[in-house]
Amino acid sequence: MVLIDTGMHEAGSLQQLDRALDQVNLRLEQVRLVACTHAHSDHWGQAAPICDRAGCELWMHPNHRHAISDPEKALERRLEVARQSGVPEEALRSYAERARGLPSGIAGVMEPDRDLVPGVEIETDLGTWTVHETPGHAPSHVCLFQPERRLLISGDHLLGRVSLYYDYGWTPDPVGEFLRSLDAVERLDARLCLAGHGRPFTDVGGHIVANRKLVGERLAGVMAALDGGPRTAVELVPDVYGEPLTQTNAGWLLSQTLCYLRHLELGGGVARAPDGEVERWARA
Footprint (CB under 5 A) of Zn ion, residues 117-136: none
In 10 A of CB 225, how many CB atoms? 17
Q: Which of 9, 40, 132, 280 binds Zn ion (CB under 5 A)?
A: 40
Provide the minimum distance between the beta carbon of 198 and Zn ion in the complex, in angstroms, as a whole number: 10
DSSP state of 284: -
To Zn ion, the closest distance from the beta carbon of 167 in angstroms equals 8
Contact 54, 18 (CB under 8 A): no
Q: Which stretch binds Zn ion (CB under 5 A): 36-44, 72-80, 83-91, 217-225?
A: 36-44
Q: Is 64 in the site for Zn ion (CB under 5 A)?
A: no
Q: Which of 21, 26, 42, 271 binds Zn ion (CB under 5 A)?
A: 42
Least distance CB 38 / Zn ion (angstroms): 6
d(CA 207, CA 209): 5
For residue 83, count CB atoms less than 10 angstroms from its CB and return exposed for 0-12, middle for 13-18, buried for 19 or more: middle
Number of chain positions touching Zn ion (CB under 5 A):
4
Q: Of the candidates 3, 4, 107, 156, which one interacts with Zn ion according to CB under 5 A?
A: 156
Half-sphere CA count of 82, side-chain side, radius 13 A: 24
Interface region with Zn ion, contact rule CB under 5 A, candidates 16-24, 104-112, 177-185, 191-199 = 191-199
CB 237 within 8 A of CB 253: yes
CA distance 99 to 49: 25
Binding residues vs Zn ion (CB under 5 A): 40, 42, 156, 196
